Amino acid sequence: MKKIFSSLLVVLILAVSNVVAAQNINWNSAPRFNNLKSLVHYLTRCKYNLNTTVPVVLTNGFVPNFNDILLVGVFHWLKSTNYGSDGQNTKMLYEITNYPGERVAYAYRHNNTSFLNSEEIRLYNEAVKIVNEAKRNSPTQLRLELYLHNAITSRTKYYTESNMKQNSRFTTAFGVLLDGRANCQGYSDAFYMLGTMCGFNVDKVSGYGNNEAHVWNTITFGDRSYFVDVTFDDDSFNVAGTNYVGFIYFNIPTDIAGADHRWFVDYVPSNLQKYPDGRYFFYTQEYETTNGGWFGAHTNSAEDALRHIAYNIAKRGWKYSYVCAPYNATYAQINYSLNHLLKDLLPQYGWRGHVNMYIKWLGNYMFYMVDATKA
């Protein structure tokens, strides 16, 4: 009887608390929404501004399925409470729990860390170190972005659990910068945090990657936005049992991303770049200005790609080469391309040694990654 009484008392206290909370809300001034798109966009803005208690009025009989909000938006932990309806209008209170990376980014932008807890302060200090190093060592915006991308991949291994909790550390930037293991939510939280701290316009995207639920990022330069999927880039090339970081998903256009990603069109920037341009890793002009030391190259054919790789290995002494080309079924066979490189192209320069090769086909493109060691 005592246990039952205690449970009833707790329920009563919660009920009273909810009544008090409802009385303190000015529902007349709460924003009103009659569709999922506008509601999710508003909640997302509130999230990034750390507005954690968000009252809204849903109009014209519109009451969204709660799971639909979670499907199209990137919320770490979201609760909703219905405070009553007259049949047409519904009073709804949403409670948002922020990702740690979002809280740290906000603290940095507003020069105020007073609201961060001890673990968030640790994350803040580690992020500031990376941001300062990135700014010192990055003469251009693309190099700065690439530095952040590599800072994440160099610290993190992909990790997940079948029955993970929404607030697990590996689903946040904690996992990336403090623990060294994270899932896609963690990678995207870290990239959002570091990118925002460096002044980039970064957002998160919910959708599917390889037909599984997935989260990644967008980044905007001027009037163009791009996808960035650091998770898919990390350890994406496996050559002879060794994992390498790839860059296929660095500012990837939708024409290529659509081969293995699906997203909700209403919840991504409308100005996403469709085809590769000068900000895509393999198309940037910075390849030429930095002698290829930072970015990959693109060629007009797979044969040209292999000739390009052979020249860089033999004449420039490069150990790694990243090159993309239009898809060619014959050259997509790794044995064919590798034998052609070793037996036909490299001997023209008198080069002998060992070469590991990886080929990835995505949409209408194929991507070479080569690791060469001279004999």
What average pLDDT values come out for the chain (375 residues) when binned by 10 residues? Answer: 39 41 80 98 97 97 95 95 94 97 98 98 98 96 97 94 80 98 97 98 97 97 97 78 85 97 98 97 86 88 98 91 96 97 97 93 94 91
296-374 CATH fold: Rossmann fold (3.40.50)
Closest by CA to 188, choosing from 167, 165, 205, 213, is 205
> In the prediction, which pLDDT does 286 show?
87
> In the prediction, which pLDDT does 18 show?
45
The domain made up of 100-277 is a member of CATH 3.10.620: yes
User: Rounded to whole angstroms, how far apart are CA atoms 10 and 372?
Assistant: 67
**Is residue 77 within 8 Å of 167, Cβ to Cβ?**
yes
User: Residue 353: left if φ>0, alpha if ψ -120 to 50, beta else—which one?
Assistant: left
**Is residue 90 within 8 Å of 71, Cβ to Cβ?**
no
What is the domain partition of the chain in residue ranges? 29-97, 100-277, 296-374
Q: Are β-strands 353-362 and 365-374 bridged in parallel, bridged antiparallel, or unpaired? A: antiparallel
**Is residue 70 within 8 Å of 87, Cβ to Cβ?**
no
pTM above 0.85, yes or no: yes
Encoded tokens for 156: 């993190």
> In the prediction, which pLDDT does 237 show?
65
